[in-house]
Chain A
């Protein structure tokens, strides 16, 4: 780690954390569980000279159901606690499922919800040691001027690969932030708005902003959601693709509301609005529905295979159809 000059701060309040972030601007980096920041420090790809640890912010550890029936998840709740929470498993199982599939049990004991949502994008040519990267000219993501994935590409195509965002997205989650530069200091946004769609800076946070909580509304009646993860190994691996779907059924058994979101297929976790609209008002698709698969593959747009998996577009289609079918079947069992 080329890091002797890094300073560590562990503020006691959110306000103090925001003040530190404001003071140090681009030279500061938030540290939550550190399971992504620490590898990045070791790889020498974090420019920060100040680490602002959130560990003393007890208020960010709450995990509860509000009086309105919303699930309120503090940014510092670990993925392990989210995955094993009885109330989350009972009422928002898709969120528990996605959290429980990230990384490994050891990583989930440290990795937090806030860190998972704000995870940096990943690329074969970026998440490597300095010595490894030195064999090529620097790429966009390391302040260079080229892309090693697609030669000639005039932008970075690193992929967003965190597991929980698709699950939170189909569940309709909102994210509360503290420390916006312009007043009001706090704001709550739909999770879709947390992402820029740019691989270089995937998360749409101001320099002094901190994610404090994620709020998930109670699911609609006769609805169910699933998260499917395709990875090289069942543990320790980021998703090659992750697809979440939620289906709510009308009394006649047709689809009253459908949501599909993917991770690992672009610079941000994506809602697939066209696919959602296409199945709306119809009977549930079969798990091998070719039309849903084709439409999904098409809506994904250009797919940069920065993790080197050529069958990704086809896989995404099959997984979306299967996720919708499974969610609809589970919703159909609710009377």
Chain B
């Protein structure tokens, strides 16, 4: 039986009719048309589907959409502000941390949650935070370079009030 639920995705609340067994990933990709989060394993084992649920990165392929009612959902489409990439996205681009790109939305969102909780993570914390997100291309070295650069940039943004043009 379909139910009408309210989903708040990237700050926008909408009514969506869903079957109770459809996942947040299915609904966001197939009904809302936000295809940034990827369907990899569809079983919680790759992280390609990562979304932030009340600020925490989760496997959207394992969250039933009905369970996400009332939560703040952020997808990769929701983090660039005013046409400017999020500093984490920018750093991934600049450091060659994107190859095929399938894992990238998940890695970026997992990084976003990490840097919000731990603005200056050590290497162990970075590895740990990304250990649910598989990347088959980069070998992670450039990903970690990008995270270090993003952490630096975010620190500068916090301490220096001048926004780069």
| A contact set with B: CB distance below 8 Å | 1, 3-4, 6-8, 10, 31, 34-35, 38-39, 41-42, 51, 53, 55, 80, 103-107, 109-110, 234-236
Contact = CB atoms under 8 A, between A and B. Distances in A.
Please name the 6 residue pairs, one residue from A and one from B, whose CB atoms are nearest each other, closest first.
Answer: A104-B132, A8-B20, A235-B131, A106-B132, A3-B21, A109-B56
B58 A109 contact: yes
A7 B131 CA distance: 34
Nearest to A81: B56
B23 interface: yes
Nearest to A104: B132
Nearest to A55: B67
A39 B44 contact: yes
Contacts of B131: 104-105, 234-236
B15 interface: no
A53 B70 CA distance: 14
Contacts of B1: 7
Contacts of B110: 105-106
A8 B128 contact: no
B133 interface: yes
A103 B132 contact: yes
B29 to A, nearest CB: 15
B63 interface: yes
Contact of B20 (A7, A105, A110, A236): A7
B3 interface: yes
A28 B67 CA distance: 17
Contacts of B45: 236
Residue of A3, A7, A41, A107 most packed against chain B (CB within 10 A)? A107
Contacts, number: 84
Contact of B62 (A4, A7, A39, A236): A39
A106 B42 contact: no
B21 A107 contact: no
Contact of A6 (B20, B43, B53): B20
Residue of A8, A31, A51, A104 most packed against chain B (CB within 10 A)? A104
B36 interface: no
B59 A107 contact: yes
Contact of A105 (B19, B57, B67): B57
Contacts of A39: 43-44, 62
Interface string B118-142: 0000000000110111100000000
Contacts of B23: 38
A51 B132 contact: no
B64 interface: yes
Contacts of B61: 38
25 contacts: A4-B19, A7-B1, A8-B3, A8-B66, A34-B63, A34-B64, A35-B59, A35-B62, A38-B63, A38-B64, A39-B44, A39-B62, A51-B21, A51-B64, A53-B66, A103-B132, A104-B132, A105-B132, A106-B50, A106-B58, A106-B110, A107-B59, A109-B53, A110-B53, A236-B45
A106 B64 contact: no
B21 A41 contact: yes
Nearest to A39: B43
Given A39-B62, A42-B42, A55-B67, A106 B57 contact: yes
